[in-house]
Amino acid sequence: MEAGTAGLRLQLCSLIPGERSGIVGGLPDHSTSTLQLPQRWPAAEDTSNVERLSLTHSRRTRLVSRNGRSDTRLSSLYKKSGVNSETIHALADEAVLLKKKAEDLTPRLNERCIYLIGMMGSGKSTVGKILSEALGYSFFDSDKLVEQAVGGTSVAQIFKQYSESFFRDNESEVLHSLSSMHRLVVATGGGAVIRPLNWNYMKKGITVWLDVPLEALARRIAAVGTDSRPLLHHESGDPYDKALVRLRNLSRERGEVYANADVRVCLEYLATKQGLGDVSAITPTAIATEALVGMETFLKKTALLEMPRDNPP
């Protein structure tokens, strides 16, 4: 990045007064804006007997008690959501398991940031919000921060109006700024991994790769449309077919790079472990829990490698 370029200055919660942020690439002054970072999600100590945990299977927030039993408010969801009681109780159990795992792991994280990486449509933002709430961390989407920095311009429009290189420069600035902070869960853009510089920033924390089969990704993207995907929306043809072709090409380019992550959450493996025939049946809560399990394993291995070894006699 060129010397003298003003870096993004991020405001965390309300601790730092708002400032004008410098943008990479020489945008005119009227495009410069303040990044207003959201308040931290509620920490465990902020909650009482009943905790709010995101169970997005039915796209509703369910109230789950600490002991895993549904309270009186949970029963009212049976009629409202159209989901049977067995499913709701299973989701409640998932949420309690997630919270317990998060409570066990949080002290061992030592306030490290968590960076979620993976292909477009892999659920980084959805899973990231659930993780941040369970851990009592703040959540950030790096794409959203870049959009806010460039005057609220969408990622697709940034690619079209300024270029992918311009976007990547700003993306690196965002990751650089976030890497100096603590207790964050960051959902990164699918292409953030292609710059070695970004790995330098993310490796200050723990990187988690959400590895989703390409066919499942293509179905998700086709269902919501490709207009918001700058690497897809210019291509014509059936949304599923063009998404799958592009994803295959990107996978060949990035597959080995994603594998540099500290933790890999393989949805095919998780579906098999849960006895599910389709990865789309896995709830975001279950994926978040699997990410915590992977982080626990990674921290154990790291601790073993860092243990002093006795000198041989």
Q: What is the pLDDT of residues 174-224, one digit of tens each?
A: 999 999 999 999 999 999 999 999 999 999 999 999 999 999 999 998 888
Q: What is the pLDDT of residues 8-50, one digit of tens each?
A: 333 333 322 233 333 344 333 333 333 444 333 333 333 333 2
Sheet arrangement for strand 114-117: 138-141, 184-187, 114-117, 206-211, 263-266
State the average pLDDT for the chain.
Answer: 77
Average pLDDT over residues 45-57: 33
Q: What is the pLDDT of residues 210-249, one digit of tens each?
A: 999 999 999 998 888 655 555 555 566 788 888 899 899 9
CATH code reported for the domain at 9-306: 3.40.50.300
HSE-up of 152 (CA within 13 Å, CB side)?
2
Share of the chain above pLDDT 70, in %: 68
Q: For the chain, give the secondary structure using H, E and C.
A: CCCCCCCCCCECCCCCCCCCCCCCCCCCHHHECCCECCCCCCCHHHCCCEEEEEECCCCEEEEEECCCCCCHHHHCHHHHHCCCHHHHHHHHHHHHHHHHHHHHHHHHHCCCCEEEECCCCCCHHHHHHHHHHHHCCEEEEHHHHHHHHECCCCHHHHHHHCCHHHHHHHHHHHHHHHCCCCCEEEECCCCHHHCHHHHHHHCCCEEEEEECCHHHHHHHHHHHCCCCCCCCCCCCCCHHHHHHHHHHHHHHHHHHHHCCCCEEEEHHHHHHHCCCCCHHHCCHHHHHHHHHHHHHHHHHHHHHHHCCCCCCC
Average pLDDT over residues 302-307: 84
Residue 91 is predicted with a pLDDT of 81
Question: Which pTM was predicted?
Answer: 0.74
- Per domain, the residue ranges of the chain are 9-306
Average pLDDT over residues 59-65: 36
Which residue would you say has higher pLDDT here, 45 or 116? Answer: 116
Measure the CA–CA gap between 299 and 110, rounded to whole angstroms.
11
